[in-house]
Each structure stands twice: as structure tokens, then as C-alpha cells.
Amino acid sequence: MSCVVTIVEIARAVGVSKSTVSAVMRDPEKARQASPATRQRILEAARRMGYSPNQAARSLREDSSRLVAILDACNFGSYVAEVIHGVNDVLRKHHYQLVHCIYDTPSELESQIRSLQTHRPNGWLTVGHIVQDFREVIGRLIEDGESLVQVCAADSLSGASAVYVDPGEIGRLAARHLLECGHRRILYAAGGQGKLCRAGFEEELARQHMPVETCTFLPVGSGFEAGKDIFRDWLERGKPESAVFTFDDTMASGILSEAYIQNVRIPEELSVIGVDDREFSRMLSPALTTIHLPQYDQGAAAAEMLLRRMRAPQQPPEIQTLTPELMCRASCGAPR
């Protein structure tokens, strides 16, 4: 770490000036200030001596750290993992590195950002839904003129660039599948971010001449336990619906789990369709039918967008929506 060769040592070894070495190292192809012969000698010496450019020195001179910071709300493990994979693959091609920062509380996020800023990242990404408490502090980054792109559901941070999955299409896809299976009484269990899909959901209902009244719209929380609650409630209400659409797969898995415990057959008595298509969705019993969100693609698209914005920081915010996809598995079937 400390005893690495520098550009001047190579210069000395080869017998040229450090400027020449610098030019060749930065871009061997079009370093017109060096003859092919010296270029070769420099490249060869650099390889032999194990030269690795010092990014700190470059950052200082060029005012660019080649670092991108990602703020991870840490509310869903495997989802973020996939997104980061996509981000990583894109950034790598452009020689940027990803600084990963996980936060829990607003004050912690703030101190993390302060610490991150000493590294002068060229851009910022956020992943996961940005709940109210964090909006102000992240919003401040944008006001300060930082390049920032969020990977999120549609309603996260207004005024910021974002990549998300078309919520209307999610609702449409879910409704279409459920109707095609023959369901006429559907439980729409989605609060928070899930509300955004409702327009698409109802649109599809209308298109297939189904009155909205046949659906029960239930505002709910989120998470595994919330899923269990939804199921219990459905049971207590006397199983009026034959299918349930729920906004994320964690909640859907809660429904499946409680159904298993209460010995209610899925999908015979209740069809379940989720949203996300997480790592575990296909592992559930029965395998969960769900609306797949292209997590890797979201990460990749966000990284591309961020790179664009870093090149042209004054551009107005950009929004990109990707299309979800129905993953037909075993938790949906015809009603009895």
C-alpha cells in the first residue's frame, strides 16, 4: 500500500520526464506526445515495476473521485443485492467504484453523508423507498447540486431523477391474470407504495367490464406479519374473496404461511399474487405467482442515468420506468 511505484520512478527508470509517463499512462493509445518507441518502453517498465496510478492524486488534480455513493435504506436484503449487482456491472465498465452506505436513522444518515462527502463522490444513488424522515436530508443533496438517481417505487422523492417500475402496469398485469383465472371477487391489499398500482388495476377491471365494487380495497401495512394479518382478517370475514393481490412478496409470503398453518389450501381456496419476485418467491410453497420487478435492470439503468447526469449535471430530472412481468407460478388458480 505505501511502497508502490510512482510515475517519477518510472520516468527515472526509462529516462524520460514524468509528464511523458503521465501522458502514456493516462491513455496509451492517443498519447501523441510520445513516440511509439518510448511509449513501449514506458508501458513495459510500468508493467515490470507494478505501477498502479494513485487515485487520490488524480482526484486532487482532476477534481473527480471516480466514486459513486449508494445510500441503502436497508429495508429489503435480497432486493438491494440484485440492484447493486446491476449498478456494479455498469459502473465497472466506466471505472467507477461503489461506496456502499447503510443507514437506519435520519441523524445517522446525515453523519454518514457528511463522512461520505469528504470523499467527494461524483454521484449518488439511493435504493429502497425513502420514508418521510429521510426525504429532507436526501433532498438537500439535490439542492446542493449533487447528481443523484433513486431506485424506488414511484413516489419516493419528488424533483429527483429516478428509475422505477411502471406501477400502473403492475396493477394491470395483476388484475388481468386474476380475471383470466376467473376470479370475480378480489382483495386488493396494498397500502403505502402499493396504492400507485390501483389506477392500473381498476383500469383493467373496467376494460374487462368488471365493476370496481366487486373488489375489496384494504389499506395495509407491510411485512410478513402484515401478510398474516391480512389472511386472518379474510378468514374472519368469512372468505368473501377468492383471490388476493398484495403489494410485496414478503407480505404475500405471510399470507401463504398463515394459510398453511390454518390449513387452508392455496390456490384452491385463495389465489395469491404478489409483487417483487424476490430471491425466495419461487421457494415458497406453493411457489408464489408474482409480478416480477427487474431489480438488476433497475440498478443498471440507474447507473447509466447517473453517469449521464454526471456528465451533464444541469439537465432537468429524468424519470425512467421499466416494465414488470408476470411470473406465473403455483399460487394462483381458478376459483372454486
Residues of this chain that bind DNA (CB under 7 A): 6-8, 15-20, 22-23, 25-26, 32-35, 37-39, 51, 53-54, 57-58, 60-63
Q: How far apart are CA 229 and CA 198, in angstroms?
A: 21
Binds its own copies (CB under 8 A): choice among 155, 166, 279, 325: 279
CB-neighbour burial class of residue 253 (10 A; exposed 0-12, middle 13-18, buried 19+): buried
For DNA, the closer CB: 60 or 131: 60
Binds its own copies (CB under 8 A): choice among 8, 283, 319, 334: 283
User: Min. distance of Cβ 1 from DNA in angstroms?
Assistant: 11
Q: Does residue number 7 form part of the binding site for its own copies (CB under 8 A)?
A: no
Q: Compute how many other C-beta atoms are within 10 angstroms of the C-beta atom of residue 230.
A: 24
253 touches 76 (CB < 8 A): no
The 9-48 contact track toward its own copies, x by CB under 8 A, reads ----------------------------------------
Q: Does residue number 145 form part of the binding site for its own copies (CB under 8 A)?
A: yes
Q: Mind spelling out the 3-state secondary structure of 136-174?
A: HHHHHHHHCCCCEEEECCCCCCCCCEEEEECHHHHHHHH
Grid cell, residue 199, equals 389506477
How many Cα atoms are found within 13 Å in the side-chain-facing hemisphere of 65?
15
Handedness of CA 270, 273, 274, 280 (dihedral sign): positive
87 touches 125 (CB < 8 A): yes
DSSP-assigned beta bridge partners for residue 215: 186
> Candidates 14-22, 34-42, 112-120, 202-210 — which segment interacts with its own copies by CB under 8 A?
112-120
Please work out, in degrees rounded to the nearest 5, the angle formed at the alpha carbon of residue 331 by the alpha carbons of 248 and 79. Answer: 30
For its own copies, the closer CB: 17 or 115: 115
Check residue 130 and report its DSSP letter: -
User: Min. distance of Cβ 131 from its own copies in angstroms?
Assistant: 18
Q: How far apart are CA 185 and CA 215, in angstroms?
A: 6
Chosen from DNA, its own copies, none, partner binding at 38 (C-beta under 5 to 8 Å by type): DNA
For its own copies, the closer CB: 185 or 223: 223
Check residue 195 and report its DSSP letter: G
Q: Does residue number 146 form part of the binding site for its own copies (CB under 8 A)?
A: yes
Chosen from its own copies, DNA, none, partner binding at 250 (C-beta under 5 to 8 Å by type): its own copies
Q: Does residue number 222 form part of the binding site for its own copies (CB under 8 A)?
A: no
Identity at 24, one-letter amino acid code: V
Q: Which residues of 78-95 are buried (b: 16+ CB within 10 A; e: fewer)?
A: ebbebbbebbbebbeeee
Binds its own copies (CB under 8 A): choice among 99, 137, 154, 326: 99
333 touches 274 (CB < 8 A): no
For its own copies, the closer CB: 66 or 184: 66
For its own copies, the closer CB: 108 or 318: 108
User: Min. distance of Cβ 25 from DNA in angstroms?
Assistant: 6
> Candidates 14-22, 35-43, 100-108, 183-191 — which segment interacts with its own copies by CB under 8 A?
100-108
- List residues near its own copies by CB under 8 A: 1-2, 4, 52-60, 63, 65-67, 70, 74, 77-78, 80-82, 84-85, 88-89, 92, 95, 97-102, 108, 112, 114-120, 122, 145-146, 224, 250, 253-254, 256-257, 260-261, 278-280, 282-287
